[in-house]
Structure 1
């Protein structure tokens, strides 16, 4: 059995577990003879949830990989560059200033803040002299915490903390057929990134090399930031904040397969989806029939893997 076949079968099994694990008993044997309650749960909750796990995992992992190539730092991702925090701030401000705003308006506002926050961080990187591989993501996390604290302050002032906390915490149990459609926007974004993979691979060699090879570095950097910001915004608006995926998945894949952007793009997307499927299944069964938010589990696992990667990078 080839490695591709093993991956395919494993992925199919994970999808099956995701579809058939839950409080409402729906087994594979019931697919052709489901009652009304089972049919409603399966098609309005289980399938959208599984699709959102695959799309969100792939998107966050690829966004992390892209940001690492744009900054030439393997520990930069939407989590450590202020992208997630900036999108959260945009959502909070949209809730305060435009309480009756629709999903499209929230998406636009969150996207604008996400782009501005990421641009500020990347611009800041160019101005500082200390660009230690480990120091940069730590500074980025501090930057994100400052933005997050400011957003929390605003939420407290306008008494929307409960709404913000429950909505923005990473949790796929709230994903249904009614709100999963926004995540489908990530598909064309991932296609665009794959089409530009050759250019992003060269950009990973640095600005000077890229310009010598005729690559419009600043233009493509802006395109990359916009793609990351829009993709991150769609994920956070649908599922909430999911940390660390953009750091640990690209780095773990790169350990085995190298750091060539074009060659590891699809493996990173695949394992990003696998990682979210596994952690979501675990979040559903650890205290069954109750459920732990997936962001809690990923926060614990991601922190441990992040520390391992930092120590490994320091030794190298």
Structure 2
């Protein structure tokens, strides 16, 4: 007679293979969207025209000078803005913040307006640097305000940032109106990659470089997301890591703003979706956030180019609608889980 030993049962699912499969699927989706983006537009740039070799080489020229730079800029902007939102959420320890809901974008826009007024002929690299400095100041101001104002509910933190951004945006609009620069201000406020071409998108690679910096410091960002006291007890220089995060957020915001303008909600919804899938580990989340952010931006840009073809609507409109819907869903989901 043999003794009966209870056999361990497991109802866990193979999460890692499923994540790997999902990652491969998202990567393939990004590749398909990027290839489709190369051949969508008013001018005839298609595989047939490229392979047939038209006499004047117009299709090949447009592909190299316009379509490829635009697609690369879309991928870099989507990936970097998603990472900026992820880092901002770690700095504030709040899932409902990103540069466009904390006043960082408005401060960077104010810096752009200042360079246009004071030094109208400044090179793009100078404008990017000034916008980054103003964005850095905006990040610091928001962090100081959040620390000074006791906020108990998570959803109130982005409201504080939106109010701060509203004040700065009102000041920017006032000076733009008085100086007859409202048209330039509207151009920065409506994100669009229609004017991106070879020689006018290279600074978005700076935002891509900031993604690498975020990847190197990913574990430190995960630790500071647990709080200053916890990070200090582990021997981490909390202020230095926060400073690195502020620089990453400011530079990404400035580089994308100078290249294409404002793209709202992207850094808010993408990190939250990734957090629902794989958790809050920054090192594991960065590749997912980067790829999903790029997928969202490229897909929305394709929609913006095809909805009213041959005309094009601003990318920020499409991203804003999609992002707002996802933001409301996240808010309702959080509220339903709280009860």
Q: Which runs of 5+ in 2 are unaligned?
A: 1-19
Show CA shifts across 1:53-108 (max 9, x none): 00000000000001101110001110111111110010011111112222122112
- Aligned-pair RMSD on alpha carbons? 1.4
Candidates 301, 312, 331, aligned match of 1:280:
301
Q: In the alignment, is residue 27 of structure 1 matched against residue 27 of structure 2? A: no
Of 140-149 and 232-241, more deviation after overlay is shown by 140-149
Show CA shifts across 1:29-68 (max 9, x none): 3333443221222111100000000000000000000110
Show CA shifts across 1:203-234 (max 9, x none): 11111100000110011101110111011100
Of 231-240 and 122-131, more deviation after overlay is shown by 122-131
State the TM-score, normalizing by the size of structure 2: 0.90
Candidates 58, 75, 89, aligned match of 1:37:
58
Structure 2 match to 1:126: 147
8 Å CA contact 1:89–1:113 kept in 2: the answer is yes
Q: In the alignment, is residue 152 of structure 1 matched against residue 159 of structure 2? A: no
Structure with the largest fraction of helix: 1
Distance 1:300 1:82 in 2: 20
8 Å CA contact 1:211–1:217 kept in 2: the answer is yes
Distance 2:204 2:113 in 1: 20
Distance 2:36 2:275 in 1: 28
Show CA shifts across 1:137-157 (max 9, x none): 011111111111111111111
C-alpha displacement of 1:167: 4.1
Q: In the alignment, is residue 9 of structure 1 matched against residue 28 of structure 2? A: yes
Aligned residue pairs, count: 316
C-alpha displacement of 1:4: 4.2
Residues 2/118 of structure 1: CA separation in 2 closer, same or farther (3 Å cut):
closer
Of 302-311 and 118-127, more deviation after overlay is shown by 302-311
Q: In the alignment, is residue 65 of structure 1 matched against residue 82 of structure 2? A: no
Distance 1:7 1:307 in 2: 24
State the TM-score, normalizing by the size of structure 1: 0.96
Distance 1:148 1:264 in 2: 32
Structure 2 match to 1:176: 197
Other structure's SS at 1:30 match: helix
**Alignment of structure 1 residues 164-243 onto 2, 5 Å:** 164-243=185-264
Candidates 37, 41, 45, aligned match of 1:18:
37
Other structure's SS at 1:173 match: coil
8 Å CA contact 1:125–1:131 kept in 2: the answer is no
**Alignment of structure 1 residues 41-120 onto 2, 5 Å:** 41-120=62-141
Residues 220/160 of structure 1: CA separation in 2 closer, same or farther (3 Å cut):
same
Distance 1:93 1:131 in 2: 36
Of 152-161 and 185-194, more deviation after overlay is shown by 185-194
